[in-house]
Amino acid sequence: MIKGTIHVSIDICKGCELCIAACPQESLALSEQINKKGYRYAVLIKDNCTGCVNCALVCPDAVITVYREPKSAKKREAVEA
Amino acid sequence: MFEDRKMETMTAPAGMELVYRRPSTLVDTPMHYCPGCSHGVVHRLIMEVVEETGIQEKTIGVAPVGCSVFAYNYLDVDMQEAPHGRATAVATGIKRVHPDKIVFTYQGDGDLAAIGTGETIHTVNRGESIVVVFINNAIYGMTGGQMAPTTLLGMVTSTTPFGREQPVMGYPLKITELIAHLPGAYFVTRQAVHTTAHVRKAKKALQAAFEYQGHNKGTCFLEFVSNCPSGWKMTPLEANDWLEKNMLPMYPLGDLKVPGRN
């Protein structure tokens, strides 16, 4: 399975939970801590993220950046180098 | 302030490549919208299209009155604020003075379908070559959730506490259907942004609309059926669920007018 990961801009997230519902891997949840504005923010709780971009597409505040392993071996080598 | 969102400081973890980031044409500032509001998604989609097609320098947007009155704080293109409901009239002027620019308006249902009904219909009837982005959440969000012309029958708002009743308040206004019959309309479509599949389709529609504007053959009108978690008194997830069950039967998604097809 392709491995991916996301980065959440914690201080801008409003904890609307739309990304949590959109994640097919159920790898997102709300944090226990709160951010500067007092919202619980989205965090990755499992390492089964595939980088499918679903969470970032539904995010109203554009807080999610998505990274993924390159599909082809050639590209993978280029990224690792 | 937001170091982790700067394009320069975004670094991919080892062995991974960047597959998605917010568009650089979206100003890096927190939006004032309520959690889960569809405005943010549509803002982002417009700016993705602007970034991908490289039209940032020649795009002019017109902001409305309503929740999205501060759209000019978030969209990094030339923006003009318009009086309530008059965004399409202002856009007409801009487009006629600068016919080589890409002009779009961004309006809610209180702006476009209530106070601005006349301007909207006449702009489309004149066939002005602009893109009209219409956010329909069936409520006046900014002023505290009052009934809008687009409010569904039976829907509870702060001015219809027992639900909208047809004998007194009339029927919901389907302005997109109204517009689609006008000869000046070139591309008319209704989209939603509450699920990933709908977001992908909505982006395609926006790409088409911005491309069609170059044809100079008429108005491109895009309705986005949206949620209003605060106005509807629901959580964002409940609001999206309610939207799917109640809004979509009344406002069916799809293309109403496509160039070359009808």
Domain ranges of chain A: 4-80
Q: Torsion-angle region of residue B54: left (phi > 0), alpha (psi -120 to 50) or beta? A: left
> The CATH number of the domain where B68 resides is what?
3.40.50.970
Q: What pLDDT, in 10s, does the model give residues A34-50? A: 999 999 999 999 989 99
A16 reaches B (C-beta below 8 A): yes
- The answer on pLDDT for A7 being more than 80 is yes
Q: For residue A73, what pLDDT is reported?
A: 64
Is B41 in contact with A69 (Cβ distance < 8 A)? no
Q: Is B45 on the interface with A (CB under 8 A)?
A: no
Report the residue of chain B nearest A24, measured CA to CA: B196
Cα–Cα distances in angstroms (integers) from residue B48 to residues A11, B67, B164, in the given order: 22, 21, 37
The answer to whether residue A54 neighbours chain B at the CB level (below 8 Å) is yes
Per residue in A20-34, pLDDT tens?
A: 999 999 999 999 999
Q: Name the residue among A37, A60, A68 with its Cβ closest to that of B19.
A: A68
Q: Quote the pLDDT of residue A72.
A: 74
The confidence band for A2, taking pLDDT boundaries of 50, 70 and 90, is confident
CB < 8 Å to B206, chain A: none
Q: Which residue shows structure tokens 């590209």?
A: A75
Grouped pLDDT means (10 residues each) for chain B, 262 residues: 61 86 92 95 96 94 94 95 96 96 95 94 95 95 93 95 94 94 95 95 96 92 96 95 95 93 68
Residues 6 or more apart from B1 whose CB is under 8 A from it? none
Residues of A in contact with B14 (CB under 8 A): 80
For residue A55, the chain B residue with the least C-alpha distance is: B196
Q: Structural domain tally of chain B? A: 1
Question: Is residue B18 less than 8 Å (CB to CB) from chain A?
Answer: yes
**Domain span holding position B93:** 33-257
Question: What does each C-alpha distance from B228 to B58, B72, B142, B239 come to in angstroms?
Answer: 32, 21, 10, 7
Query: What pLDDT is attached to residue B24?
Result: 92
Q: Is B227 among the domain residues? A: yes
Average pLDDT over residues A57-67: 94
Q: Is residue B262 part of a domain?
A: no
Q: What ipTM was reported for this prediction?
A: 0.90
Tokens of B205: 């529609």
Residue B13 confidence (pLDDT): 84
Q: How far apart are the first and last CA of chain A?
A: 22
Residue B11 is assigned to a structural domain of this protein: no
More confident residue, B224 or A2: B224
CB contacts, 8 Å: B40 with chain A: 59-62
> Any chain B CB within 8 A of the CB of A26?
no
pLDDT of residue A71 exceeding 90:
no
Indicate the pLDDT class of residue A80, thresholds 50, 70 and 90.
low
Nearest CA in chain B to A41: B35
Q: What pLDDT is recorded for position B38? A: 95
**B234 in A contact zone (CB under 8 Å):** no
Q: Which CATH class is domain A4-80?
A: alpha beta
Q: B206 lies in a domain?
A: yes
**Which residues of chain B lie closer than 8 angstroms to A63, CB-CB?**
22
* Predicted model pTM: 0.93
Q: What is the CA radius of gyration of chain A?
A: 14
